[in-house]
Amino acid sequence: MTAQGSWSHYASPRHALRRLLVSCHGAGEQSGPLRPFSRRALPTRGLVYVSEGRGTYEEYEPRSLRLPVEGPAVIWLTPGVRHGYGPDAGGWSEHWILFEGEPFAAFEGTGLGGRLRPVQSLARPVDEAEALFGELREAVAAVGPRSEVAASVAAQRLLLAILDALDPVEAAGEGGSVVDLIARDAARSLSVADRAGGVGLTARELGEAVRTATGLTVNDFVIEVRLTRAQTLLAETRLDVGQIAAQVGYEDAAYFSRIFSRRTGVSPSVFRRQQARVQND
Protein backbone atom coordinates (compact mmCIF):
# COMPACT_ATOMS: atom_id res chain seq x y z
CA MET A 1 0.00 0.00 0.00
CA THR A 2 1.52 3.34 -0.98
CA ALA A 3 0.64 6.81 0.28
CA GLN A 4 -1.42 8.86 -2.14
CA GLY A 5 -3.78 11.81 -2.06
CA SER A 6 -2.85 12.89 1.49
CA TRP A 7 -4.47 16.18 2.58
CA SER A 8 -5.96 17.88 5.63
CA HIS A 9 -7.93 21.08 6.25
CA TYR A 10 -9.26 22.63 9.48
CA ALA A 11 -12.06 25.11 10.25
CA SER A 12 -13.73 26.97 13.13
CA PRO A 13 -17.50 26.94 12.51
CA ARG A 14 -19.65 29.59 14.16
CA HIS A 15 -21.10 28.70 17.56
CA ALA A 16 -24.70 28.88 16.25
CA LEU A 17 -23.93 26.24 13.64
CA ARG A 18 -22.51 23.93 16.30
CA ARG A 19 -25.82 24.15 18.17
CA LEU A 20 -28.09 23.56 15.20
CA LEU A 21 -26.15 21.20 12.92
CA VAL A 22 -23.34 18.67 12.92
CA SER A 23 -20.49 21.13 12.40
CA CYS A 24 -17.29 20.03 10.66
CA HIS A 25 -14.03 21.25 12.21
CA GLY A 26 -11.61 19.42 9.96
CA ALA A 27 -11.20 16.60 7.47
CA GLY A 28 -8.44 14.73 5.71
CA GLU A 29 -7.15 11.57 4.07
CA GLN A 30 -3.91 9.62 4.12
CA SER A 31 -2.71 6.11 3.39
CA GLY A 32 0.30 3.84 3.52
CA PRO A 33 2.65 2.74 6.33
CA LEU A 34 1.64 5.56 8.69
CA ARG A 35 3.27 6.06 12.08
CA PRO A 36 0.91 5.23 14.99
CA PHE A 37 0.53 7.82 17.75
CA SER A 38 -0.59 7.66 21.38
CA ARG A 39 -2.07 9.68 24.24
CA ARG A 40 -3.83 12.36 22.21
CA ALA A 41 -7.09 13.96 23.38
CA LEU A 42 -9.38 15.97 21.10
CA PRO A 43 -11.60 18.96 21.97
CA THR A 44 -14.26 17.73 19.50
CA ARG A 45 -15.68 14.44 18.31
CA GLY A 46 -13.96 12.65 15.49
CA LEU A 47 -14.29 9.65 13.23
CA VAL A 48 -11.65 7.75 11.31
CA TYR A 49 -12.93 5.66 8.41
CA VAL A 50 -10.41 2.91 7.64
CA SER A 51 -11.34 1.69 4.18
CA GLU A 52 -8.62 -0.99 4.02
CA GLY A 53 -5.80 -2.32 6.14
CA ARG A 54 -5.40 -3.40 9.76
CA GLY A 55 -4.25 -1.76 12.96
CA THR A 56 -5.12 -0.99 16.58
CA TYR A 57 -7.06 1.55 18.61
CA GLU A 58 -6.14 2.22 22.26
CA GLU A 59 -7.48 4.21 25.21
CA TYR A 60 -5.61 4.98 28.40
CA GLU A 61 -7.16 6.70 31.42
CA PRO A 62 -9.74 6.62 32.95
CA ARG A 63 -10.18 3.17 31.35
CA SER A 64 -7.59 1.08 29.52
CA LEU A 65 -8.44 -0.86 26.38
CA ARG A 66 -6.90 -2.06 23.14
CA LEU A 67 -9.11 -3.01 20.18
CA PRO A 68 -8.22 -4.41 16.75
CA VAL A 69 -9.24 -2.43 13.67
CA GLU A 70 -9.71 -4.12 10.31
CA GLY A 71 -11.02 -2.19 7.33
CA PRO A 72 -13.65 -1.41 6.44
CA ALA A 73 -14.24 -0.04 9.93
CA VAL A 74 -14.81 3.23 11.79
CA ILE A 75 -13.00 4.53 14.86
CA TRP A 76 -15.13 6.95 16.94
CA LEU A 77 -13.21 9.54 18.95
CA THR A 78 -14.75 11.17 22.03
CA PRO A 79 -13.75 14.65 23.29
CA GLY A 80 -11.28 14.55 26.17
CA VAL A 81 -10.59 10.81 25.93
CA ARG A 82 -6.87 10.13 25.67
CA HIS A 83 -6.36 7.68 22.84
CA GLY A 84 -4.07 6.43 20.10
CA TYR A 85 -4.38 4.45 16.89
CA GLY A 86 -2.48 3.41 13.82
CA PRO A 87 -1.93 0.69 11.24
CA ASP A 88 0.25 -2.37 11.46
CA ALA A 89 3.39 -2.71 9.34
CA GLY A 90 1.29 -3.18 6.19
CA GLY A 91 -0.27 0.28 6.49
CA TRP A 92 -3.86 1.30 5.93
CA SER A 93 -6.03 3.87 4.14
CA GLU A 94 -7.79 6.34 6.44
CA HIS A 95 -10.26 9.22 5.98
CA TRP A 96 -11.13 11.38 8.98
CA ILE A 97 -13.33 14.24 10.11
CA LEU A 98 -13.54 16.31 13.29
CA PHE A 99 -17.06 17.38 14.21
CA GLU A 100 -19.48 18.27 16.97
CA GLY A 101 -23.13 19.17 17.43
CA GLU A 102 -26.16 18.06 19.40
CA PRO A 103 -27.82 16.43 16.34
CA PHE A 104 -25.20 13.65 16.46
CA ALA A 105 -27.27 12.10 19.26
CA ALA A 106 -29.86 11.18 16.64
CA PHE A 107 -27.24 9.24 14.68
CA GLU A 108 -26.05 7.46 17.83
CA GLY A 109 -29.65 6.43 18.49
CA THR A 110 -29.79 4.64 15.13
CA GLY A 111 -26.70 2.53 15.77
CA LEU A 112 -23.56 4.60 15.20
CA GLY A 113 -20.83 4.22 17.78
CA GLY A 114 -19.37 6.65 20.24
CA ARG A 115 -17.97 6.55 23.77
CA LEU A 116 -19.22 3.03 24.50
CA ARG A 117 -18.35 1.50 21.11
CA PRO A 118 -15.22 3.25 19.83
CA VAL A 119 -14.55 0.76 17.01
CA GLN A 120 -17.27 -0.51 14.68
CA SER A 121 -16.83 -2.99 11.86
CA LEU A 122 -18.56 -2.32 8.56
CA ALA A 123 -20.23 -4.95 6.41
CA ARG A 124 -18.96 -3.23 3.28
CA PRO A 125 -17.04 -0.11 2.23
CA VAL A 126 -18.84 3.22 2.62
CA ASP A 127 -20.69 4.20 -0.56
CA GLU A 128 -19.35 7.30 -2.31
CA ALA A 129 -16.71 7.86 0.38
CA GLU A 130 -14.27 9.39 -2.08
CA ALA A 131 -16.91 11.76 -3.46
CA LEU A 132 -18.02 12.81 0.03
CA PHE A 133 -14.46 13.52 1.11
CA GLY A 134 -13.97 15.46 -2.08
CA GLU A 135 -16.89 17.66 -1.03
CA LEU A 136 -15.47 17.99 2.48
CA ARG A 137 -12.05 18.92 1.13
CA GLU A 138 -13.53 21.77 -0.88
CA ALA A 139 -15.97 22.97 1.79
CA VAL A 140 -13.61 22.91 4.78
CA ALA A 141 -10.87 24.70 2.82
CA ALA A 142 -13.24 27.60 2.03
CA VAL A 143 -14.35 30.39 4.37
CA GLY A 144 -17.84 31.72 5.15
CA PRO A 145 -21.33 30.61 6.20
CA ARG A 146 -22.11 28.83 2.93
CA SER A 147 -18.99 26.67 3.13
CA GLU A 148 -19.74 25.85 6.79
CA VAL A 149 -23.23 24.63 5.87
CA ALA A 150 -21.85 22.70 2.88
CA ALA A 151 -19.31 20.96 5.14
CA SER A 152 -22.08 20.16 7.62
CA VAL A 153 -24.27 18.62 4.93
CA ALA A 154 -21.38 16.51 3.62
CA ALA A 155 -20.51 15.37 7.16
CA GLN A 156 -24.09 14.28 7.85
CA ARG A 157 -24.28 12.47 4.52
CA LEU A 158 -21.09 10.65 5.51
CA LEU A 159 -22.61 9.64 8.85
CA LEU A 160 -25.67 8.29 7.05
CA ALA A 161 -23.49 6.40 4.55
CA ILE A 162 -21.55 4.83 7.46
CA LEU A 163 -24.83 3.81 9.09
CA ASP A 164 -25.90 2.13 5.85
CA ALA A 165 -22.58 0.23 5.70
CA LEU A 166 -22.66 -1.04 9.30
CA ASP A 167 -22.59 -4.72 10.06
CA PRO A 168 -26.24 -5.71 10.78
CA VAL A 169 -25.30 -6.81 14.32
CA GLU A 170 -23.60 -3.46 14.99
CA ALA A 171 -26.59 -1.55 13.62
CA ALA A 172 -29.22 -3.40 15.65
CA GLY A 173 -29.86 -0.34 17.83
CA GLU A 174 -33.26 -0.57 19.48
CA GLY A 175 -33.74 -3.86 17.65
CA GLY A 176 -31.55 -5.46 20.27
CA SER A 177 -27.85 -6.16 19.73
CA VAL A 178 -26.38 -7.68 22.88
CA VAL A 179 -24.51 -4.49 23.77
CA ASP A 180 -27.61 -2.32 23.27
CA LEU A 181 -29.77 -4.67 25.34
CA ILE A 182 -27.29 -4.62 28.22
CA ALA A 183 -27.04 -0.83 27.97
CA ARG A 184 -30.84 -0.53 28.06
CA ASP A 185 -31.00 -2.39 31.40
CA ALA A 186 -27.84 -0.88 32.88
CA ALA A 187 -29.72 0.96 35.63
CA ARG A 188 -31.15 -2.30 36.99
CA SER A 189 -29.26 -4.00 39.81
CA LEU A 190 -28.51 -7.37 38.20
CA SER A 191 -25.69 -9.89 38.36
CA VAL A 192 -23.73 -10.74 35.23
CA ALA A 193 -25.48 -14.12 35.19
CA ASP A 194 -28.90 -12.44 35.30
CA ARG A 195 -27.94 -10.03 32.51
CA ALA A 196 -26.70 -12.95 30.42
CA GLY A 197 -29.88 -14.92 31.00
CA GLY A 198 -31.93 -11.94 29.93
CA VAL A 199 -30.34 -12.00 26.46
CA GLY A 200 -30.21 -15.78 26.13
CA LEU A 201 -26.47 -16.24 26.73
CA THR A 202 -24.24 -17.77 29.37
CA ALA A 203 -22.22 -15.40 31.53
CA ARG A 204 -19.07 -16.38 29.61
CA GLU A 205 -20.71 -15.80 26.22
CA LEU A 206 -21.99 -12.42 27.33
CA GLY A 207 -18.57 -11.45 28.64
CA GLU A 208 -16.95 -12.36 25.32
CA ALA A 209 -19.58 -10.47 23.31
CA VAL A 210 -19.28 -7.29 25.38
CA ARG A 211 -15.47 -7.40 25.43
CA THR A 212 -15.32 -7.90 21.65
CA ALA A 213 -17.63 -4.91 21.05
CA THR A 214 -16.31 -2.52 23.71
CA GLY A 215 -13.05 -3.82 25.18
CA LEU A 216 -14.67 -3.86 28.64
CA THR A 217 -15.95 -6.44 31.10
CA VAL A 218 -19.72 -6.56 31.55
CA ASN A 219 -19.56 -4.78 34.90
CA ASP A 220 -17.24 -2.06 33.60
CA PHE A 221 -19.49 -1.56 30.57
CA VAL A 222 -22.53 -1.16 32.85
CA ILE A 223 -20.64 1.44 34.90
CA GLU A 224 -19.66 3.33 31.73
CA VAL A 225 -23.28 3.39 30.55
CA ARG A 226 -24.49 4.62 33.94
CA LEU A 227 -21.89 7.38 34.15
CA THR A 228 -22.48 8.48 30.57
CA ARG A 229 -26.19 8.88 31.37
CA ALA A 230 -25.35 10.65 34.62
CA GLN A 231 -23.18 13.15 32.77
CA THR A 232 -26.07 13.95 30.43
CA LEU A 233 -28.47 14.44 33.35
CA LEU A 234 -25.98 16.64 35.19
CA ALA A 235 -25.46 18.81 32.11
CA GLU A 236 -29.05 19.03 30.91
CA THR A 237 -31.34 18.90 33.99
CA ARG A 238 -31.74 20.45 37.43
CA LEU A 239 -32.12 17.08 39.19
CA ASP A 240 -30.05 16.83 42.34
CA VAL A 241 -27.21 14.32 42.61
CA GLY A 242 -29.28 11.87 44.66
CA GLN A 243 -32.05 11.81 42.06
CA ILE A 244 -29.56 11.30 39.25
CA ALA A 245 -27.81 8.52 41.16
CA ALA A 246 -31.14 6.71 41.58
CA GLN A 247 -32.06 7.13 37.92
CA VAL A 248 -28.82 5.60 36.66
CA GLY A 249 -28.80 2.69 39.12
CA TYR A 250 -27.21 3.74 42.42
CA GLU A 251 -29.27 3.82 45.63
CA ASP A 252 -26.38 5.35 47.60
CA ALA A 253 -25.64 8.87 46.33
CA ALA A 254 -22.31 9.01 48.19
CA TYR A 255 -21.16 5.79 46.53
CA PHE A 256 -22.27 7.13 43.14
CA SER A 257 -20.26 10.31 43.75
CA ARG A 258 -17.14 8.29 44.59
CA ILE A 259 -17.50 6.15 41.44
CA PHE A 260 -18.17 9.23 39.31
CA SER A 261 -15.15 11.10 40.69
CA ARG A 262 -12.84 8.12 40.31
CA ARG A 263 -13.88 7.46 36.70
CA THR A 264 -14.14 11.04 35.41
CA GLY A 265 -11.58 12.86 37.55
CA VAL A 266 -14.11 15.39 38.93
CA SER A 267 -17.06 15.27 41.33
CA PRO A 268 -20.64 15.40 40.00
CA SER A 269 -21.04 18.97 41.28
CA VAL A 270 -17.85 20.14 39.56
CA PHE A 271 -18.86 18.40 36.34
CA ARG A 272 -22.22 20.17 36.47
CA ARG A 273 -20.59 23.58 36.93
CA GLN A 274 -18.29 22.90 33.98
CA GLN A 275 -20.88 21.46 31.60
CA ALA A 276 -24.34 22.65 32.66
CA ARG A 277 -26.61 23.66 29.76
CA VAL A 278 -29.60 24.42 32.03
CA GLN A 279 -29.01 27.49 34.19
CA ASN A 280 -30.54 27.81 37.63
CA ASP A 281 -33.28 30.42 37.99
Domain 181-275 listed as CATH 1.10.10.60: yes
Instruction: Tell me the mean pLDDT in the region 19-42.
Output: 92
pLDDT at residue 277 greater than cutoff 70: no
| pLDDT 10s digits, 108-148 | 767 787 777 899 999 999 999 999 999 999 999 998 999 99
**Pairing mode, strands 73-77 and 119-121:** antiparallel
The two domains 7-165 and 181-275 share their CATH topology (first three levels equal) = no
Query: Is 226 within 8 Å of 250 (Cβ atoms)?
Result: yes
pLDDT at residue 101 greater than cutoff 70: yes
Least confident of 46-50, 76-80, 160-164, 173-177: 173-177
pLDDT at residue 172 greater than cutoff 50: no
pLDDT for residue 274:
84
pLDDT for residue 173:
42
Least confident of 29-33, 60-64, 184-188, 261-265: 60-64
188 exposure class (CB count in 10 Å sphere: 0-12, 13-18, 19+): exposed
Query: Is 50 within 8 Å of 92 (Cβ atoms)?
Result: yes
pLDDT for residue 20:
81
How many residues appear in the chain? 281
pLDDT at residue 178 greater than cutoff 90: no
| pLDDT 10s digits, 244-258 | 999 999 999 999 999
Instruction: Please give the model's pTM, rounded to 2 decimal places.
Output: 0.68
Residue 175 pLDDT class (50, 70, 90 cuts): very low
Query: What 3-state DSSP class applies to 225?
Result: helix
| Mean pLDDT (the chain, rounded) | 88
- 64 Cβ contact partners less than 8 Å away, ≥ 6 residues apart: none
| pLDDT 10s digits, 192-223 | 999 998 888 889 989 988 887 788 899 999 99
- Which whole-number Å values give the CA distances from 202 to 31, 124, 196, 209, in the listed order? 41, 30, 6, 11
pLDDT for residue 115:
77
CATH code of domain 7-165? 2.60.120.280
Run of H or E including 257? helix 253-264
User: Domain locations in the chain?
Assistant: 7-165, 181-275
- Which whole-number Å values give the CA distances from 276 to 45, 192, 250, 264, in the listed order? 19, 33, 21, 16
Residue 105 pLDDT class (50, 70, 90 cuts): confident
pLDDT for residue 169:
53
Instruction: Tell me the mean pLDDT in the region 45-73.
Output: 92
- 200 Cβ contact partners less than 8 Å away, ≥ 6 residues apart: none
Whole-number percent of the chain with pLDDT over 70: 91
